[in-house]
Amino acid sequence: MPSSQTPSIAGLALDPTSVRSEIADAEILRIAPGDLRAKLEALRAEGFSMLLDIGGVDYLGREPRFDVVYHLLALPAKVASLAEVGTPRRIRLLVGVPESAPSLPSIQDMWPSANWAEREIFDLFGLTFEGHPQLTRIQMPHDWEGHPLRKDYPLRGPAREATPRPAFALKSNVPAGAPPSGKTAAALQKQIARARGQAPAPDGGADS
Amino acid sequence: MESMPGQFMLGKLDDVARWAQSSSVWPLTMGLACCAIEMMSVTNSTYDIARFGSEVFRASPRQADLMIVSGRVAQKMAPIIKRLYDQMADPKWVISMGACASSGGVFDNYAIVQGVDTIVPVDVYVPGCPPTPDGLLYALNLIQAQIRQGGRGGIFAKA
């Protein structure tokens, strides 16, 4: 499912540095994983004191496959005028992470708020963070297998993906040939078949 | 009935017990998702679940008779719900409130249990997304009718 479609989508577009660099309220920087900590320390010294969030993105088919996005905020220590209050500086750091080496240095010693954010990315994307004190799952059950926000993770879970998705009519508790208040199961199945562009069943009965 | 000395009523003890039980089905304080908002609204004066004796939402499953599964059940929540159900004393009833609790609803994905009846036995399903408070009250009425008409309940109550 993902392999046929996703590369074109990812290749088209979803590189935020090219598409959205003109966004006014936040500068976007793309850096290498090796420069991450040094760059973050420099930004922090520059006044970006708050780590708002860390996000993960899976561009399946792109190289590097993953992006990890660090959102920083510079809270002004002193506000010169009232107009400055609502406009703190923001910056976003994008770090590409290849699937072959899915690991980044942890920054939870610099910002404790990174602790849970990094656990979340580990949980949902399977990226590891070197130096994290307790890199365990935080959202999914601890015995869960796989990392659900990866684009090649089956939507309904690995166990159920193999079984066919039940049609609405089959889930319905309307018995076949049921009275007129609702649609019969057969009518519903015909409606579904028509919606999917298949030829309706040849019995020619009324639909409702 | 005007109270006068010497008046009395006769009845089967089991009927009296069933009347008392069906008039005091105490739900468990447990809200899972947006259906819980509708569940809470049945306690307000517009719908007033107290008319049926079920306004006492108990914070402990040991004191609750009714579990209202009000919303989608995440895979992570499922063992907790099962445990709460096991902690409730017999006889106990379960209402599956809304499309998600009954069948997974629109959440046909890895994270959501496809119907809470795969975990606990359900007595009444309430359709809707979310159901109206009236729908939930009607489900409660069905459980009350079930108790009065000889379902689980009475002095020889079993699970």
- For residues B96-106, give the mean pLDDT: 91
For chain B, say whether A33 makes contact (Cβ under 8 Å).
no
Tell me which residue in A139, A144, A156 faces B109 most closely, judged by beta carbons. A156
CA A1 to mean position of chain CA atoms: 17
Choose from A140, A161, A170, A174 for mutation: most chain B CBs within 10 A. Answer: A140
Q: What is the pLDDT of residues A64-79, one digit of tens each?
A: 899 999 999 888 777 7
Same domain for A49 and A69? yes
**Residue A37: inside a domain:** yes
More confident residue, A195 or B57: B57
Residue A185 belongs to a domain: yes
Q: How many domains does chain A have?
A: 2
Q: How many CA atoms lie within 13 A of A13 on its CB side?
A: 3
Q: In 3D, which of B66, B95, B91 has the Cα closest to residue B151?
A: B91
Closest by Cβ to A171, choosing from B103, B110, B111: B103
Give B85-88 contacts, CB < 8 A, sequence gap 24+.
Answer: B85/B61, B85/B119, B85/B120, B87/B61, B87/B62, B88/B28, B88/B61, B88/B62, B88/B64
Domain count, chain B: 1
Residues B125-148 have a mean pLDDT of 93
Distance CA A56, CA A24 (A): 22
Residues in chain B closer than 8 A to A162 (CB atoms): none
Strands, DSSP E only, in A59-101? 66-74, 89-97
Whether B76 is in a domain gets the answer yes
For residue range A49-60, what is the model confidence (pLDDT) as tens digits? 999 999 999 988
Tokens at residue A125, please?
């994307």
Q: Give domain status of residue A207, yes or no.
A: no
**The predicted structure's pLDDT at residue A122:** 95
pLDDT number for residue B140: 95
Same-domain pairing of A46 and A84: yes
Q: Is B20 contained in some domain?
A: no
pLDDT digits (tens, 9 = 90+) for A109-164: 999 999 999 999 999 999 999 999 999 999 988 888 889 999 888 888 777 766 65
Is B108 part of any domain? Answer: yes
Quote the domain boundaries for residue B134.
Answer: 26-148
Output the average pLDDT for chain B.
89
When CB atoms are compared, the residue of B108, B110, B111 closest to A165 is B108
Query: Are A99 and A173 in the same domain?
Result: no
At A22-47, the pLDDT tens digits run 555 678 889 999 999 999 999 999 88
pLDDT attached to residue A24: 59
Q: Is the pLDDT of residue A180 over 90?
A: no
Whether the predicted pLDDT of A192 surpasses 80:
no
Decide: helix, strand or coil at residue A22: coil
Helix axes B133-148, B13-22, angle to 10 degrees: 170
The pLDDT of residue A16 is 52
Task: Say yes or no for a CB contact (<8 Å) between A153 and B110.
Answer: yes
Inside any domain, residue B159:
no
Domain encompassing residue A77: 2-160
Whether A141 sits inside 8 A of B75 (CB atoms) is yes
CATH label of the domain that carries residue B31: 3.40.50.12280
Q: Is there a contact between A60 and A7 (Cβ–Cβ < 8 Å)?
A: yes
Is the pLDDT at B11 greater than 70, yes or no?
A: yes
Cα gap A131→A77, rounded to integer Å? 31
Is A67:A56 a contact under the CB 8 Å cutoff? yes
Q: Which of B115, B123, B35 is nearest to B75 (CA)?
A: B115
CA angle B35, B36, B42 (to 5 degrees): 100
Mean pLDDT of chain A: 76
- Whether B110 contacts chain A with CB within 8 A: yes
Cis peptide bond upstream of A98, omega within 30:
no
d(CA B106, CA B119): 19
Q: List pLDDT tens digits, range B41-80.
A: 999 999 999 999 999 999 999 999 999 999 999 989 999 9
Distance CA B119, CA B79 (A): 8
